[in-house]
C-alpha cells in the first residue's frame, strides 16, 4: 500500500511538472507575490490546468485516506484543509475571470469544468473511508485539547461531510452526485442568460429632443457609447451608470417605460435565454437534495449553518422590519404621487415613474441631487478617501504596483502593507462596466490566506464595480450611491486582506452568510460623516471642499424613502424564503408564484412581462439561496456596531483595533455571535437600525 501511494504521488507530480512547462497555470508564478500571470494565460490553458490540478488534488486526498497511522486532528482534519491548493488557485483565477472578463469561450469551458469540480468535491465528501477517519477524530473532540479555531475546523469538517451526503446509502450517494452536478450546470446557465440579456439590449436615440431632462454627464457618456460603436446619437444600456440616470432624469415617460421593461424582463421573454425553467429546476433539485439529507426543505438545510438558525429566526427579522416599514413605505408613495400630480402628472404613478418623481421630490425637499454631489466625488479622490479611512483606522497603506499583471488594462493592482511595513495583501480594483463583466459589484479573492510551516501565505483580493466612466471632458465622477457601493465592497476586501487565520477554510470571508455583510455594511456608515468627507470630497475643478451645507443635506436626506427601501429589500427576502421553504417541487407559473410570495410588500400595481425571479442571480447563480435576508440581518449588526464608533469617535484607534482583531482578522475561526459579543460586549439590538433609518 505504501509503495502504491508513493508511486501515485510521484506520477501526479511528474505530470504537473511536464504540463507546467507549457501551461503558465501549473508552474510557479514568477510574478510579484506570486500573483496570477494574466499576461501569459490563454483560454486554452484552463481545461488542461483543471485536469492536472484535479489529479493532484486526488493524489493529496489519496495520501490522507491511505495513511496507515491512526486518524488524528493533524493527519486527517488539518491535512484535508491543506489539500487542493493548486486546484483552488486555478479555480480562483478562472471563476473570477468568468465574472469580470467573460466570453462565450470561457462560458463553454465553465460548462465543461463545473461537473469536473463537482465530482472532485463529491469524491471527497462521499468517500466512506475518509468519513470514518473524520468521524473517529470528531468522536474524540473533547479529549484533544484543541483551541477555539481548531475546534471550529473539526466541527466544520465533520458537519460538511454530513451535509454533503456522507451518511447516505450508496444509491442515495449516487443520486446526490447527480443532483449536485446538475445544480452546478444550471447555476452557471442562469448567470450566463442574465448577462446575455443585459448585453443584448440597447436604447439607440438619434433625436436629442427625446432625451430632455438628462444631465450633460449622462448624455456625454451615451454619446461616447454610440461613437464607440460607430453610430450616430446616443446609446443607453442596462448597466447601472447608464440605466439609473435615464430612469431618474429622462422626461420621456415612454422611453422610461421601455428601459424599465427591458431591465426587469431580463431572462423572462420566452427566448433562448429565458430562466423560468431554470428557476423551477434549481429549486426542485435543491429541495430534492435537502430531503435526501433528511431536511423538510432547502431553507432548513441552509439555515442550520447560519446565525438566524432556522426559518423562525428569519421570519421574525423580516416580519419585525415589515411592521416598522410598510405603512411608512405607503405614505412615502402617497407623498411622491401627490407631488407628481401637483406637477402635471395624471393617473397612478408606476414603477418607471418612481425614480424620476421621487428624485424630483428629493430635490424639492432637500435641494439635493446626484448632479450636485458628483463633482465632489472624482474617482481618484474617492479612492484616496476610502483607502485613507483604512489607513486611519487600521494603519494599512496601499501602493500601486503596475508590475503585477492584470486581466484588463483598466484594473489597478495595489500592494497593501501593515503599520509595521509587513506585506498584507494584493488588491485588484476594477471600476468600470464592460460587455464581458457582470452587472453589480462584488468582492472575491484570487487566493485566500492561510498559515503553514511557520509561513503566513497572504491573500490576493479583488473588488469589482460598474461605476460611471470618464468622458472626453470629465473624469469619472461618482454618484453618492456609487461611493457607498465602493465603501461596501471595500469593507468585504478588508475582511479578506486582514485575514489572520491558520486554516484556509476559516479565513477571511469564509463565515456564515448572515455575518459576511457586517464588515461591508459598517463601512457605508462613514459616507455620511462630515469629518470623513472633508478629507477627500473636493470639487474636481475648483479644489473646494464639499460645503458643510451640502454634507448636511446628505445627512438630512439619509432616511428619504427609508420605508420604501426597507420594504424593497424585505420583498426580496420573502421571495427567497418562499422559493426555498417549499416542500414539494414547483411546476406552475414562476410569475404568479413570485407575486404571491411578496404580495404583502407590494405598493405598486403588478406589472405584466417582468419577473425578478428569472434574473435573481443572488439566489440562482450565487450563494444567497435562503440567505437574502442576511443583508437586513447584517444591517442590524452594522448599525449596532457603528454606534460604538459614534459614541467613542469615528476614528477611535481602540475601537478600530477591537473590530480588526475580533471581526476582520478572525474570519470564521469561531461562531460569529461569539466574535461579535467579544467586540461589542453584548448581543446586537435592532434599536440602532430603527433609529438610524427613522423607522422607530
Q: Which positions are catalytic?
A: 489
**First-to-final CA distance of the chain:** 68
With beta carbons less than 8 A apart as the criterion, state whether 249 and 222 touch: no
In three-state form (DSSP H/G/I as H, E/B as E, the rest C), the secondary structure along 504-568 is HHHCCCCCCCCCCCHHHHHHHHHHHCHHHHCCCCECCCCCCECCHHHHHHHHHCCCCCHHHHHHH
Please enumerate in sequence order all residues whose Cβ is within 8 A of that of 82, keeping only pairs 6 or more positions apart, or say none: 60, 450, 452, 504
Map residue 68 onto helix, strand or coil. Answer: coil
Q: Given the DSSP bridges, would you call strands 460-464 and 423-430 parallel, antiparallel or unpaired? A: parallel
Query: Of the candidates 578, 593, 583, which has an alpha carbon nearest to the alpha carbon of residue 287?
Result: 583
C-alpha cell at 468: 460611471
CB atoms within 10 A of CB 671: 16
CA angle 127, 130, 131 (to 5 degrees): 85
Q: For residue 287, give Cα distances in angstroms to 281, 301, 617.
A: 10, 9, 18
**Measured distance CA(559)–CA(264) in Å, rounded:** 26
With beta carbons less than 8 A apart as the criterion, state whether 627 and 286 touch: no
With beta carbons less than 8 A apart as the criterion, state whether 447 and 460 touch: yes
Total residue length of the chain: 696
Q: Given the DSSP bridges, would you call strands 460-464 and 442-447 parallel, antiparallel or unpaired? A: antiparallel
* Cell 404583502 belongs to residue: 600
**Measured distance CA(485)–CA(527) in Å, rounded:** 10
**Measured distance CA(301)–CA(37) in Å, rounded:** 39
Count helices and strands (H / E) in the chain. Answer: 28, 9
Please enumerate in sequence order all residues whose Cβ is within 8 A of that of 1, keeping only pairs 6 or more positions apart, or say none: 66, 68
**Measured distance CA(91)–CA(108) in Å, rounded:** 15
With beta carbons less than 8 A apart as the criterion, state whether 408 and 101 touch: yes
CA 386 to chain centre: 19
Helix extents (H) in 367-479: 370-373, 379-394
Query: Of the candidates 527, 467, 520, 462, which has an alpha carbon nearest to the alpha carbon of residue 495?
Result: 520
Amino acid at each position: 500500500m505504501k509503495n502504491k501511494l508513493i508511486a501515485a504521488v510521484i506520477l501526479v507530480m511528474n505530470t504537473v511538472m511536464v504540463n507546467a512547462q507549457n501551461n503558465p497555470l501549473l508552474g510557479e508564478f514568477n510574478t510579484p507575490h506570486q500573483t496570477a500571470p494574466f499576461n501569459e494565460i490563454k483560454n486554452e490553458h484552463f481545461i488542461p490546468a483543471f485536469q492536472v490540478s484535479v489529479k493532484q488534488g486526488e493524489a493529496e486526498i489519496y495520501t490522507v485516506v491511505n495513511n496507515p497511522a491512526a486518524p488524528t486532528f493533524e493527519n486527517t482534519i488539518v491535512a484535508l484543509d491543506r489539500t487542493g491548493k493548486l486546484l483552488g488557485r486555478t479555480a480562483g483565477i478562472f471563476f473570477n475571470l468568468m465574472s469580470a472578463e467573460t466570453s462565450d469561450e470561457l462560458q463553454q469551458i465553465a460548462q465543461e469544468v463545473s461537473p469536473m469540480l463537482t465530482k472532485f468535491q463529491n469524491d471527497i465528501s462521499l468517500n466512506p473511508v475518509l468519513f470514518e477517519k473524520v468521524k473517529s477524530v470528531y468522536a474524540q473532540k473533547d479529549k484533544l485539547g484543541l483551541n477555539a479555531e481548531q475546534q471550529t475546523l473539526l466541527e466544520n469538517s465533520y458537519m460538511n461531510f454530513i451535509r454533503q451526503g456522507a451518511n447516505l446509502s450508496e444509491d442515495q450517494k449516487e443520486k446526490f452526485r447527480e443532483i449536485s452536478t446538475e445544480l452546478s450546470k444550471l447555476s452557471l446557465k442562469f448567470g450566463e442568460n442574465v448577462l446575455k440579456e443585459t448585453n443584448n439590449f440597447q436604447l439607440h436615440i438619434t433625436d436629442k429632443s427625446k432625451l430632455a431632462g438628462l444631465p450633460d454627464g449622462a448624455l456625454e457618456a451615451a454619446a461616447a457609447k454610440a461613437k464607440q460603436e460607430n453610430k450616430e446619437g446616443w446609446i443607453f444600456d442596462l448597466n447601472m451608470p447608464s440605466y439609473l440616470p435615464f430612469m431618474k432624469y429622462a422626461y420621456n415617460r415612454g422611453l422610461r417605460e421601455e428601459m424599465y421593461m427591458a431591465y426587469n424582463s431580463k431572462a423572462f421573454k420566452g427566448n433562448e435565454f429565458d430562466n423560468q425553467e431554470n428557476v423551477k429546476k434549481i429549486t426542485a433539485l435543491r429541495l430534492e437534495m435537502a430531503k435526501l439529507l433528511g431536511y423538510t426543505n432547502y431553507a432548513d438545510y441552509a439555515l442550520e449553518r447560519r446565525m438566524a438558525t432556522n426559518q423562525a429566526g428569519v421570519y421574525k427579522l423580516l416580519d419585525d422590519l415589515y411592521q416598522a416599514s410598510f405603512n411608512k413605505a405607503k405614505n412615502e408613495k402617497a407623498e411622491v404621487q401627490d407631488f407628481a400630480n401637483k406637477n402635471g402628472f395624471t393617473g397612478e404613478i408606476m414603477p418607471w415613474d418612481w425614480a424620476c418623481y421621487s428624485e424630483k421630490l428629493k430635490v424639492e425637499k432637500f435641494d439635493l441631487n446626484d448632479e450636485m454631489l458628483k463633482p465632489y466625488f472624482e474617482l481618484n479622490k474617492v479612492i484616496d478617501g476610502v483607502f485613507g479611512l483604512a489607513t486611519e483606522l487600521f494603519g494599512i497603506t496601499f501602493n500601486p504596483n503596475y508590475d503585477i499583471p492584470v486581466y484588463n488594462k483598466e484594473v489597478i493592482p495595489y500592494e497593501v502593507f501593515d503599520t509595521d511595513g509587513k506585506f498584507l495583501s494584493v488588491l485588484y480594483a476594477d471600476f468600470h462596466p464592460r460587455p464581458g463583466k457582470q452587472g453589480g459589484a462584488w468582492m472575491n479573492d484570487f487566493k485566500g490566506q492561510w498559515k503553514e510551516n511557520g509561513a503566513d501565505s497572504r491573500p490576493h483580493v479583488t473588488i469589482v464595480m460598474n461605476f460611471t466612466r470618464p468622458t472626453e471632458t470629465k473624469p469619472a465622477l461618482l454618484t453618492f450611491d456609487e461611493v457607498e457601493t465602493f465603501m461596501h465592497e471595500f469593507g468585504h476586501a478588508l475582511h479578506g486582506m486582514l485575514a489572520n487565520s491558520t486554516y484556509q477554510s476559516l479565513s477571511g470571508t469564509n463565515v456564515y452568510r448572515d455575518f459576511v455583510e457586517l464588515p461591508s455594511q459598517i463601512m457605508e456608515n462613514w459616507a455620511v460623516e462630515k469629518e470623513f468627507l472633508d478629507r477627500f470630497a473636493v470639487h474636481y475643478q475648483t479644489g473646494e471642499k464639499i460645503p458643510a451645507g451640502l454634507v448636511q443635506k446628505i445627512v438630512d436626506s439619509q432616511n428619504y424613502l427609508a420605508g420604501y427601501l426597507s420594504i424593497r429589500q424585505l420583498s426580496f427576502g420573502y421571495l427567497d424564503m418562499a422559493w426555498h421553504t417549499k416542500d414539494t417541487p414547483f411546476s406552475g407559473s414562476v410569475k404568479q408564484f413570485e407575486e404571491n410570495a411578496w404580495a404583502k410588500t407590494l405598493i405598486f400595481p403588478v406589472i405584466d412581462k417582468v419577473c425578478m425571479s428569472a434574473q435573481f442571480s443572488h439566489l440562482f447563480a450565487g450563494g444567497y439561496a435562503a440567505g437574502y435576508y442576511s443583508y437586513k440581518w447584517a444591517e442590524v449588526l452594522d448599525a449596532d456596531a457603528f454606534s460604538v464608533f459614534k459614541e467613542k469617535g469615528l476614528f477611535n484607534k481602540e475601537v478600530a483595533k477591537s473590530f480588526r482583531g475580533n471581526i476582520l482578522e478572525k474570519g470564521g475561526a469561531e461562531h460569529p455571535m461569539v466574535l461579535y459579543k467579544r467586540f461589542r460586549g453584548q448581543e446586537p439590538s435592532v434599536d440602532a437600525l430603527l433609529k438610524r433609518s427613522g423607522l422607530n
